[in-house]
Structure formats: structure tokens, C-alpha cells
Amino acid sequence: MTTQAPQALAPPRILAPAGSRASFLAALAAGADAVYCGLKHLSARMAAKNFTLSELAVLTTLAHRRGVGVYIALNALLTTRDLDQAARRVEALVHIVRPDAFIIQDLGLIPLARRAGFKGEIHLSTLANVSFPAALPWARERLGVDQVVLPRELDVDEMRVMGAACPPGLGLEVFIHGALCYAVSGRCYWSSFLGGKSGLRGRCVQPCRRNYQQDRTRRRMFACMDLSLDVLVKVLRTIPQIRTWKIEGRKKGPHYVYYTVSAYRMLRDEGHDSQAKKAALGLLEQALGRPNTHYRFLPQRPQSPLQAAVQTGSGLQVGVVKGSTPRPFITPRLALMPGDVLRVGYEDDKGHDVLRIGQAVPAKGRFAIKASGRRPIRKGTPVFLTDRREPALQKMLADLETEAAAIPLPREPAVDGRWPPPKAARRTREAGRTLRLTRTPARRGRGYTTGLWLSSQAMAQTPRSRQAAVWWWLTPVIWPDRQSELSAMIDRAMRNGARRFVLNAPWQRCLFKGARGLDLWAGPFCNLANPLALQTLKQAGFNGAFVSPEMGQEDFRSLPRSSPLPLGVVVAGLWPLCLARVTAEDLRIERPFTSPKGEQSWVTRHDDNFWVYPNWRLDLSQRQPELARAGYRWFVQMEEPLPKGVKIKSRPGVWNYKIGLK
């Protein structure tokens, strides 16, 4: 009798970003196993150049000839008015582009993809925030998901726990390199709340990277360094469920894509060789990224990505401005090539400038800066190298362009462009009811129902006889080590008679398996804004939903007409700008800090997360009669304890109600 040797595991795929044609070709030149990119709409990186359908079809054909997969990011939050366009785009992608996978955050895209005949994989974006192990089997069984992109905040031990929970057919994808957001992905409303440009729609203006002042000290207290696992990626090989190593950077140029992909290919395929590792690290140093960090990857040695002394502008800092107006100059710490692109100052500096190098400048040489703007260039301003087109890379891109030019443009077939509306929930004539959501029990009030964030403290302070009447709200982010504790609290609440729960991630539904007679609502942090996503949740066993408060007036009005679930909405209270797992060591918790425009906010801690709040309230209370007529049944008022020294400012708090969700 002979025994078969165990089959060797396939090496993880290296997934490269492409926000432009040149970056896509650079990924192919570097030997990426797959490329992810987006259209000019429905993508969570709308600031990237992105692609037309015809262009993407040609590039996908070119990639497939090389055995390279193409993943399309359709990871934007969708409203009802987006569904016709989304249906047309998805059908066209399926029939013209033929991608290998769709990356989504909005659950409404799953039925659209399947209706269009898509046979490829569905990947849940990191914006979906699948952050605890029990969520994985549920996502596979109930949604048919093939791959989950894990949050960047997980350490390697937590990744092992997630891997062990993976059911057959489900793989994991982890970020190994690129920019870090301060906030947990999918739990950031900062850009949207300040100016209507939603990060969930790919239009984030990065307010976290600006200067803020606290206690007379002004600094970029939320601006993160870049993630780089570099040689530590070898540890990921011990977690077989991790199928894909992902490089962030759809706004980056071809130089960055080529160098990072080449480096991680070396580390994956030749990581045992000391010379190969040294060469790979050299490539990463030249990739034009920010100073980097391992972040939380090693639980025994976590690194803070928030370092006040580190310049965190995008690109590689090559020097600072010397001299004075009108003859400023720099002495770059590395040689500059013709065609290099420099940015003088940070992106959010009013006087920042972009320059292109005309001739070579040696390291420590002198390069005179000729300002194109009206503002003088200040001495000490940092200068960043943001793009480079060296001749060897240009030659590779040109050869690939020649091959792509020989591929005929596809003929675009007619597409249906209609989305299948679900059956709307039956309207009731009952008046809208108010739910007051607090952290700890308040005195019994009149005219409202009590909602409490589920915690040991809130349960201990709520008499058992009253727990059945409470709507218990689950935290928007559950980390792996908190899953058991939360499950135990849910079980205890149900034994005490609790029947109404608000779940702030769809996958939290898995924590209620086997329970009967419950009233489970999806919470506002589920980011729900269209009837197809609501239909998906109804099929998963939800009884109602509190919709995204990011929406505009027309979105609010239209959604109840086609919603298959009864709806509620947050109309008043303190809504967080974001949730994060880390904060700067020198930031004082529960003390106000001020933005460059004079807006005040503060950071507080609940459970394992840091919540950032503005000092003005969301206030749609005057719109409540209109929302009630539209069909909303529940109106939530969110209360949050105010720290000492924080004063609530009187200002309009209608968020995107008037301007619409962009």
C-alpha cells in the first residue's frame, strides 16, 4: 500500500492595483497574478483615473492571455437612483469585459451580478468590515461570497483565527503594502460629514491627513504612515486560507506598481535567499511611498502608524526647500531623473505646487524651484517625489501598448439596464415612533422607546424586568477576541427576555443562530441605501432596517416606496466621524481638538474602538414629518455623554440632506 504525498498549496496570488492604463500595464510587466481596477463610476477610488468599458475589455483580454486575473472593484455605496446605472454597468462588464471577480461592499450588487449571468467570484471589500470569525461561514452560506478582504487592523494571530473559521470554498485576502486609513474601513463618515464627499462612494478628501490642534500643539495627529509587511509576508504562507496578497494603491503611478509587485514576487518566490530579500527591500525603498510601518501585524511588537515626527505626505520625501524667495531650491537626497514629478508641500496645503524635472539632478545636487503659483514657497517646506518614468519601465510599457493596440475594440451589446425591484413592505398608518439610543440607562421617559448599546455595564444597570422592552444595539465593529464575550451578552439578554436587537454589520446575524421570535433590525452602520441590499437582508432573516443617514433628500424619499422591509432613520444626536482601532499616543482622549477651519471634535473610547465625534449634532428633526409621510416608522435620537471642556456648537446638522450624497 502506498500513501500519496500531501498536495502542495498553491502560492498566494499577488494582487496589484491599477487606477490608470499605465499602472495596469506596469502590473503585467512586473508579473502580478491578478490586477484590480475600477470604472469611472461605482468605485471606491473615484479620484483615480479609472477605465472605460472598451479600454478595460482590451486590457482584460491582454491580461488573460498572460494568465493574469482581473478583478473589478464595484465597491461604492449605492442609492436607489444608482441602480439603473449599476445594472447597465454590471451587464456590460459581464458580457464585454468578462472579469474574474467583482469586489463589492453593497449587498445590492450580488443580485445584480447574478441576474446578469456573472459566473465569476464575489469578493467582499474591506469596506464591508468582516472583522470576526463567525461572520465568515455566514457570508459564504447565506450570500455565496467567494473571498473576503480582511481589515488592515488585524494582527497575524487574528488572521489565523479568521483562517481557521473559513468554510470550504471561501478564501481570504490581506493587505501587505500601501496606504493606511486612520479609520476602520467602512466606518468612516468624516469626509462626508464635513463636505458631502463620501468615502463609501470613493470621494474621500482625506480630512484625517490634515493638521489639527490640541492644547496649542498643531500636528497631523491622524495621518498614518504606509503599511509594509516586507519580509514578514513569509508568515502569511503558514495560513493556507489566505489566497491573495493585496497591494493598495489605485491612485499610484506605474513606477509604484512595478516596484512593489516585483518586490513581493521576490519575497514570495525567493524569500529564502538573503540576496533576494535585500534586493526586494531595495525595490520597496524606491517605490515612492511614505515612511512605512508593520502596524499591528506582530501582536508582540505592534507599531503605531501615527508618528508626529514623520512626514506623511503621499510620495517619497526627497528634501526640504532651502533658500528664500525668489530663489528657493532643494538638494535632493537621491538622484532625480528627467520626467520625475515633484510635489512641493502637502496635498492640502493651499500653496502646494507640482513640478516636472527637465534634466537629471545628482543626489545632493542643487535644483532650483520655479513656483507656478502665486503664493511664495516657504523655507522648510517638504518636497515629495510622486512619480517616476525611468527608461527601462517606459520600454516595457511601450511594448505592452503595442500588443494591446492589436486587440480589437469590442462591440458593446445592448443591455437591459433595469433592476428587479423587490416587493415593497406593506405600508401601515401608525405614526412614527421615537427610539432614544444611549450608552447607559436613563430615567424612564415618556413618548419614546429606549435603545441601549449592548454592554456589560448597560445590562447590569438595566433591571431584568425592563430588558425585554429595550432595543439592544450591537457595536459597529467586532474584533475576533470580542466575539465570544459579545455572544455571551446576547445570550444573557435573550434569557432575560430581550427580543429586539439592532445589528450594525449584516454578518452579525450569525450570532443569533437558532433563536426564535426575535425582531432583528439592520442598523445605520450597515450603510444601507437601496432596496436590493434591503432585499438581500430580508432573505437573510432581518425584520427591518435603519438606513444610512448619509443620504440626500431624494434618496430618503424614494427608498421606502420600494423597500421590502420596514425602515427607520437616525434624525438627531451625535453621529461619529469615524471609528478607529488606534490613536496617537500623544492625543488626549476626551479633550477637544480643532481643525484648520475651526471645527472642534474629540476622541472617546468604547469597547475596543476609538470613536471620533464632532461638536455639533446631526439634526433632521424638522424633516421628521416629511420622512414619516415617506414611510419611515422609527426615528432614532443618538445620545452620547459629553466630556468636560466640550461644548456643542449650534450649526445646521442636516448632513447631506440638502446637497445630496455625492
State mean pLDDT over 47-55: 74
- Quote the percentage of the chain above a pLDDT of 70: 96
Q: Which of 295, 252, 264, 8 is nearest to 151 (CA)?
A: 295
Does the pLDDT at position 364 exceed 50? yes
Does the pLDDT at position 129 exceed 90? yes
Q: Which of 33, 86, 28 is nearest to 58 (CA)?
A: 28
Q: How confident is the prediction for the chain on average, in pLDDT? A: 93
> For residue 209, how many other CB atoms are within 10 A of its CB?
20
Does the pLDDT at position 576 exceed 70? yes
Residue 129 grid coordinates: 468590515
pTM, rounded to two decimals: 0.95
Q: List pLDDT tens digits, range 252-299.
A: 999 999 999 999 999 999 999 999 999 999 999 999 999 999 999 999
Helix (H) or strand (E) holding 546: strand 544-546
DSSP secondary structure, 40-75, as one string: SSS-S-TTS--B-HHHHHHHHHHHHHTT-EEEEEE-
Q: List pLDDT tens digits, range 295-353.
A: 999 999 999 999 988 989 999 999 999 987 778 999 999 999 999 999 999 988 877 88
Give yes or no on whether 13-180+224-299 and 433-574+617-638 have one common fold: yes
> For residue 616, how many other CB atoms are within 10 A of its CB?
17
Lowest mean pLDDT among 6-10, 44-48, 367-371, 400-404: 44-48
- DSSP structure class, residue 545: E
State mean pLDDT over 167-186: 97
- DSSP structure class, residue 219: E
In this structure, whether the domain defined by 13-180+224-299 belongs to CATH 3.30.450.40 is answered with no
Sketch the domain layout of the chain as residue ranges: 13-180+224-299, 433-574+617-638
Does the pLDDT at position 1 exceed 50? no
CATH for 433-574+617-638 is 3.20.20.70
Identify the pLDDT of residue 430: 65
